[in-house]
Structure 1
Amino acid sequence: MSAVLHTWGQNLSQHVHLHCLVPGGALGDDGGWHGARSHYLFPVRALSRHFRGHLVSGLRQAATAGELHRVTRPGDVDDQLNALMVTEWVVYSKDCLEHTDTVVRYLARYTRRIAISNARILAVDDRQVTLRYKDYRDRDRRKQLVLDGEEFVRRFLLHVLPKGLMRVRHYGFLANRCRRRRLAQIRQALAVAEVTPDADSAASDPEPTYTCPHCQQPTLRVIGTLAPRRPTCGRPPNHREQRYRA
């Protein structure tokens, strides 16, 4: 599977969860592809309860080993874990056989975005920030939220990942060390040819590209040319600046 970490809610609260794209089958030891018997790889309710038990068991083992240093009150670990076990956990699973491209694009947006876009920030002054959000608990109604500047920064920084923590991880036959070999085996088992970019369509792209000075890849494109209103820094009046994007 491919898993994408998502940490924020619409109001910038800390809402840590994973979006996972899971294949509906597995590559067997015989080199063949074994598809799921239904649209779902696992029953949703069974998956929810298995995930709950697995995580609570891991927390209990960590507590026994003395690794939960912030929990100091006697009996607090058992009380919290027992409360977790009697709560129904939610694992939302849905097949995407007819909308695969849409789902992939949806997950791809999370690989680069963080917390909030500029379009949702309605107003900023010396003290407060006003933002727009969707209240999913109130029938997806759009509302406005006013936060003090310090509170806005605090919530935003909740979603800056620690150094070394990967936002996207690939597992199984999609893992980096075996992906190329395993995908070739799966395509052979399914009698599916590898899809390559259309050379004709790529050649017909009239937009010029420029090599990025940092990654040395041809990913820069001109999106506009800015002419200064007056000469600056000793530059001649006809000097023009170009803006790029990757």
Structure 2
Amino acid sequence: MAGSVTVQSALTQFLSTDSLDRHRRKVCSRLMDCRTARMGGMEMRCDHCKARTVHYYGCRDRHCPQCQSRASQQWCERQRRSLLPVPYFHLVFTVPHALNGWVQVHPEVVYRRLFESVWNTLSQFGHTTKHLQGELGMTAVLHTWGQNLSRHVHVHCLIPGGVLTEAGEWHEAKHQYLFPVRALSRRFRGRMVSSLRRSVRTGELHRLTEPQAIDDVLKKVMQQDWVVYARPCLNQAETVVDYLARYTHRIAISNGRLLSQDGGRIMIRYVDYREGGRQKSLQLEGAEFVRRFLMHILPKGFMRIRHFGYLSNRTRRRKLTAIRQALQKPPEVDVEVKNGSESQRSWPCPRCEDGVVYMVRQIPRFKTVGRVTG
């Protein structure tokens, strides 16, 4: 990571004193190798001042704070093609902290059930709400952290304000909140708990071995009010993707939140929403900082950005065409935006500002003996 404070140094110290599973060890190796000679790169030369520079490649790991900015920009360009000229709603569904222990031992199961329960809840409301009665579309993003890097599992949902009926009609949402939040919360709670009970019966949660403790946890969370938060709708369609991009490629900690490093301690900045969004700072030991960071590494191959309903990948093109026809608003001319890092091999020279920098050779990546690499 850039700046005076680095995650790499803390990772190195942590790896030397603790054991990790192979997947997390690979992620740590990628983060430490990012933008270094181990990743390979390009040697560049200016055609005017003849200055030579070296540009090392990024690791492209989805947990890397250096690589996610570019990934977010590329994702935005792809998603703009799916925008509809309608208001959008942002909803957040949160899992109670009483289930954090289950997330610790079975993250892939709990996360999958969370996506399913959120979509089942919203889909049912879309089909049964009197003025809608059709199929919703949703883009959902999983976050697992709070501002202080603690475990705080929740899903951000961006939903166009309307449904597509079986007759091919578009029914627009009439309320500022899309659906009643309290009703959503109760339905979501019931769906999630029922889904987890089914996972227990089928043996998916096999690391939970005490039936009475399992039942006690599920009874406890059924007696709680689950948090569902609905933000005001977004009326400017052209800003919708940029708005969601703030959530899609966000990771547990970014460069901008790292304040200082004092020996083995790291100071981070965070927002305390319980005190009205007040800015605070928190100092953590290096090992504790890394432990919290590693809690939020997702299971291998798990998709944390998912599309549902008429925005699902399988039917998106056909159904969006039907919606635009119903709205009588054809899509704008599609202009393909190429990835500059893959197609471009020359840039204006940052030193002399008169020349053009060209790639003169590729620098191959290399592996250090005895080190786990991605």
TM-score bucket (shorter structure): 0.7 to 0.9
Residue 187 of structure 2: which of 35, 47, 50 is its match?
Answer: 50
Cα 1:66–1:167, aligned 2, differ >3 Å: closer, same or farther?
A: closer
Whole-angstrom distance in 2 between the partners of 1:177 and 1:35:
23
Residue 244 of structure 2: which of 73, 86, 107 is its match?
Answer: 107
- Amino acid across the alignment from 1:84: V
Cα 1:38–1:112, aligned 2, differ >3 Å: closer, same or farther?
A: closer
- Larger proportion of helix: 2
Q: State the match for 2:294 in structure 1.
A: 157
Report how far residue 133 of structure 1 moved.
Answer: 1.1
Whole-angstrom distance in 2 between the partners of 1:188 and 1:86:
46
Whole-angstrom distance in 2 between the partners of 1:170 and 1:210:
23
1:14-163 aligned at under 5 Å gives the runs: 14-163=151-300
Q: State the match for 1:6 in structure 2.
A: 143
Q: State the match for 1:195 in structure 2.
A: 332
Asked whether the 8 Å contact 1:130–1:145 carries over to 2, the reply is: yes
- Structure 2 length normalisation: TM-score? 0.52
- Amino acid across the alignment from 1:110: Y
Report how far residue 104 of structure 1 moved.
Answer: 3.2
Structure 1 stretches of 5 or more lacking a match? 203-208, 228-239
1:182 aligns with 2:307: no
Asked whether the 8 Å contact 2:156–2:247 carries over to 1, the reply is: no
Whole-angstrom distance in 2 between the partners of 1:6 and 1:179:
24
The structure whose RCO (Cα within 8 Å, separation 6+) is larger is: 2
Asked whether the 8 Å contact 1:132–1:144 carries over to 2, the reply is: yes
Which has the larger Rg?
1
- Structure 1 length normalisation: TM-score? 0.77
Asked whether the 8 Å contact 1:225–1:241 carries over to 2, the reply is: no
Q: State the match for 1:206 in structure 2.
A: none
Q: How many residues align?
A: 218
Whole-angstrom distance in 2 between the partners of 1:89 and 1:223:
53
Asked whether the 8 Å contact 1:134–1:141 carries over to 2, the reply is: yes
Asked whether the 8 Å contact 1:62–1:68 carries over to 2, the reply is: yes
Asked whether the 8 Å contact 1:12–1:155 carries over to 2, the reply is: yes
% of aligned pairs identical? 54
- Amino acid across the alignment from 2:267: T
Which stretch shifts more, 12-21 or 111-120? 111-120
Residue 225 of structure 1: which of 350, 361, 368 is its match?
Answer: 350
Whole-angstrom distance in 1 between the partners of 2:175 and 2:329:
21
Report how far residue 130 of structure 1 moved.
Answer: 0.8
Report how far residue 182 of structure 1 moved.
Answer: 0.9
Structure 2 stretches of 5 or more lacking a match? 1-137, 360-374
